[in-house]
Structure formats: structure tokens, C-alpha cells
Amino acid sequence: MLNNLEITFKFVRIVALMAMATIGVASFASVRLKAVGDNYSDLVDRVGTFTSMTVLATSQANAHIAATFELAAETADAGNAKYLERAHLTAAQCCIDPPGNGTGFQINRA
């Protein structure tokens, strides 16, 4: 009878040790996964903002480049005036100093 009690006690100790190890691994994994999730969320928030800003700036820059090429290709004076006005408007939207202001295509900080 005493031998059966020792085997049962040994078995319970092994099961308890395995249960503690499982709980420890699960808690460690959940803490690490939460940290990964928080860092990824922060990355998405920051990158998402800058991605949308990049898309907007690229679209505005493409509009300005198109207006500049139209101005360069136009030969009539009336067309030049129209396309020059369009180039100035797209430059203002892009926050770029338009040509002729002496500064070239610099980022407008104001």
C-alpha cells in the first residue's frame, strides 16, 4: 500500500511540474505577443500617416510636373499665360516655390 502511495505522489509531482511549466510558458508568450502587438500597432500608426502624406505629395508633384511640361510644350502666348497660371497654382498646392521667384524648386516652409 505504501509503494502505491509513493508512485502516486511521484506522478502528482511530475504532473504539477508540467502544469507549472505550461503556465509559465503561456504567460511568457502572452506578454511577448502583447509587446509585439503594441509595437506593430505603433509602427502602423506612424507609417500609415507618412504613407498618406507621401501619396498626397506625389500626386501634387505629378500635377505640377504635368503643368510644367504643358507650359514648355505650348507655343502660343495665350496658351503660355494659361499654362503658367496653372503651373503657379500647382506649385502653390505642392508647397514649392514656383519658377521665376529666384529660389527654384525649394520646399516652402511658410
Instruction: Tell me the per-residue pLDDT of 17-43, one tens digit each, with 9 for 90 and over.
Output: 999 999 999 999 999 999 999 988 888
State how many domains the chain has: 1
Pull the grid cell for residue 33: 505577443
How many CA atoms, within 13 angstroms, populate the side-chain half-sphere of residue 104? 1
Q: What is the pLDDT of residue 92?
A: 67
Q: What is the identity of the amino acid at 17?
A: L
Residue 39 resides in a domain: no
The residue segments making up the domain with residue 79 are 53-110
Question: With bands split at pLDDT 50, 70 and 90, how would you rate the model's confidence at 5?
Answer: confident
20 inside domain: no
Structural domain contains residue 47: no
The residue ranking higher by pLDDT, 5 or 109, is 5
